[in-house]
Chain A
């Protein structure tokens, strides 16, 4: 089976893009990725593209071929939807296609427009990732769902709002030098604690923002790298996906995310690593509590310890395992359908040394990306290796 390498990555800045059409955002990211890769557009075999709320935000379905056209790609294209994990599952499909030998060069990524909707419409749109009958009609929102998880986590493992605040502070600080980040500014623990409540115990700075943006990566088979003398030192060596019941009320536990545990186990086995090998990670911190639960699920921390990882220094830039050096969803932004591709682009930049925070992974060779859908009813984990064969 061929090794799948990341030949190029492209991002738009994350933030408010006004009336720019989604197709224009994705075209920008895809052009940057193709240029970064140094491959001919005509060599691209397929586009795997993630998007969640485009049918509402732009009244635009069938976005796969539209985005291929916008990016100047003459190839089959498919849109993937798995809520916030849409781009993650798109990238996984791309990796699997190359491994299966049905494609050699694939563009993957995603796009989301959100700021064109008012806050109420975004709240409604995000809520449809939950169970419409038993959660949405019961008054659940995306923030309140994670608040229910946060309270259950506190009750089972301990921790409090101050521990969550340290996660927000860390990720805001990480975003400061990142030119693609929506919020390139620091906050303090007191800022986070004093912010207005959204769904207690989650307050404003516990939540990711409403974001427009796009991400794209060019994945190639190992043979393509050699034949075209490409510079692609980073390989995706492990992929895994997990699933769970859609509604929180139907899960075995509310303080854990078994879908992410399953995805991590599969990705680590695929790559031949253990959690102890991880040097750096980008995890799905749509809310601060989500980062804590992600760390537990990935095995970076023992169950119940993830909430203390930022305040203890484990996941800070100088810690043993820096997490969300991009700023994470929390401060870099969360254009839902683009996020999984953005994590991969950021990890690639971090490992190959052209990210403003690369100095913090100087000795690192192994990275992990964790992309979750909804309240983690779906999850995708990818493993990166620097100059290592699979």
Chain B
């Protein structure tokens, strides 16, 4: 599957440095593969700060001893928007609901699936979601998606 971002950038080539040396941290592609496989993770510093790959240094503490921790199964939508005018790489996906969800130590940005963008009447802030990977409507590139958790 191609992760071309739609602007001529080869996503895999841009960040996948695992093949260069053994001590490289996880690449974005490896992280996305894990999320797609239901094994999402984040990086945790010795004092508990979270971050996402590729990351050699925790940006808050400067720690380099970063450990993989499982991404919590559910997150909470912190803010969202209904996108009507998209970049060319998402042109056929409109309208779509874009959101930032809080998963505890890290937040993720993704597209909310399972919600009709034309009738988002309810305030989605505070709603629980799971994170996964799907394919855009415009291209076959992968995209992070959120799915509502039935209460």
Query: Could you tell me which A residues sit within 8 Å of B by CB distance?
Result: 120-121, 123-124, 127, 132-141, 143-144, 147-152, 155, 196-202, 245, 247-250, 254
- Asked whether B68 is an interface residue with its Cβ less than 8 Å from the other chain, the reply is no
Is A141 touching B86 in the complex (CB atoms < 8 A)?
Answer: yes
List 18 additional A-B contacts (Cβ < 8 Å) besides A138-B110, A151-B80.
A120-B87, A123-B86, A123-B88, A132-B9, A133-B15, A137-B5, A137-B11, A139-B83, A139-B87, A139-B93, A148-B80, A148-B81, A155-B79, A199-B82, A200-B82, A248-B100, A248-B109, A250-B59
B46-88 near A? 1/0 per residue, CB < 8 Å: 0000011000000100000000000000000011111111111
8 contacts between A and B (CB under 8 A): A120-B91, A139-B87, A140-B98, A141-B87, A152-B78, A199-B85, A200-B82, A249-B109
B100-125 near A? 1/0 per residue, CB < 8 Å: 10000011111100000000100101
From B9, B86, B120, B136, name the one whose CB has the most chain A CB atoms within 10 angstroms. Answer: B86
Is B5 touching A151 in the complex (CB atoms < 8 A)?
Answer: no
Q: Which of A137, A144, A249 lies in contact with B141, CB distance below 8 A? A: A137
B143: chain A residues within 8 A (beta carbon): 137-139
A123: chain B residues within 8 A (beta carbon): 85-88
Is A247 touching B109 in the complex (CB atoms < 8 A)?
Answer: yes
Cα A160 to Cα B10 with chains together (Å): 40
Is B93 touching A144 in the complex (CB atoms < 8 A)?
Answer: no
- Asked whether B150 is an interface residue with its Cβ less than 8 Å from the other chain, the reply is no
B59: chain A residues within 8 A (beta carbon): 245, 250
Q: Which of A138, A151, A196, A249 lies in contact with B84, CB distance below 8 A? A: A196
Q: Which of B81, B87, B123 lies in contact with A127, CB distance below 8 A? A: B87
Cα A292 to Cα B80 with chains together (Å): 19
Cα A280 to Cα B91 with chains together (Å): 41
Q: Which of A121, A139, A151, A197 lies in contact with B79, CB distance below 8 A? A: A151
7 residue pairs, one from A and one from B, having the closest CB atoms: A147-B81, A249-B107, A152-B79, A120-B88, A200-B82, A138-B109, A151-B79
Cα A202 to Cα B84 with chains together (Å): 10
CB closest chain-A residue, reference B6: A124
B98: chain A residues within 8 A (beta carbon): 138-140, 144, 148, 199
Q: Which of A135, A139, A155 lies in contact with B96, CB distance below 8 A? A: A139
CB closest chain-A residue, reference B52: A134
Cα A199 to Cα B99 with chains together (Å): 12
Cα A249 to Cα B83 with chains together (Å): 18
A199: chain B residues within 8 A (beta carbon): 81-85, 98
B107: chain A residues within 8 A (beta carbon): 249-250
Is B81 touching A254 in the complex (CB atoms < 8 A)?
Answer: no
Task: Report A151 CB to chain B, min CB distance, Å.
Answer: 5
Q: Indicate whether A198 sits within 8 Å of B52 (C-beta atoms), given known contacts A138-B110, A144-B98.
A: no
A136: chain B residues within 8 A (beta carbon): 5, 87
Cα A150 to Cα B81 with chains together (Å): 9
Cα A233 to Cα B76 with chains together (Å): 54
CB closest chain-A residue, reference B126: A155
Cα A147 to Cα B99 with chains together (Å): 10
Is B79 touching A149 in the complex (CB atoms < 8 A)?
Answer: yes
A155: chain B residues within 8 A (beta carbon): 79, 123, 125
Task: Report A214 CB to chain B, min CB distance, Å.
Answer: 26
CB closest chain-A residue, reference B50: A250
- Asked whether B144 is an interface residue with its Cβ less than 8 Å from the other chain, the reply is yes
Q: Indicate whether A141 sits within 8 Å of B125 (C-beta atoms), given known contacts A132-B9, A248-B109.
A: no
Is A124 touching B87 in the complex (CB atoms < 8 A)?
Answer: yes
Q: Which of B3, B84, B88, B96 lies in contact with A137, CB distance below 8 A? A: B3
B123: chain A residues within 8 A (beta carbon): 155
Is B28 touching A133 in the complex (CB atoms < 8 A)?
Answer: yes
Cα A143 to Cα B120 with chains together (Å): 19
- Asked whether B7 is an interface residue with its Cβ less than 8 Å from the other chain, the reply is yes
Is A138 touching B111 in the complex (CB atoms < 8 A)?
Answer: yes
Is B111 touching A197 in the complex (CB atoms < 8 A)?
Answer: no
Is B85 touching A134 in the complex (CB atoms < 8 A)?
Answer: no
Q: Indicate whether A254 sits within 8 Å of B87 (C-beta atoms), given known contacts A132-B5, A139-B93.
A: no
Is B81 touching A144 in the complex (CB atoms < 8 A)?
Answer: yes
Cα A152 to Cα B85 with chains together (Å): 20
Task: Report B99 CB to chain A, min CB distance, Å.
Answer: 8
Is A124 touching B79 in the complex (CB atoms < 8 A)?
Answer: no
Is B109 touching A143 in the complex (CB atoms < 8 A)?
Answer: no
Cα A198 to Cα B15 with chains together (Å): 31
From B11, B52, B84, B143, name the one whose CB has the most chain A CB atoms within 10 angstroms. Answer: B84
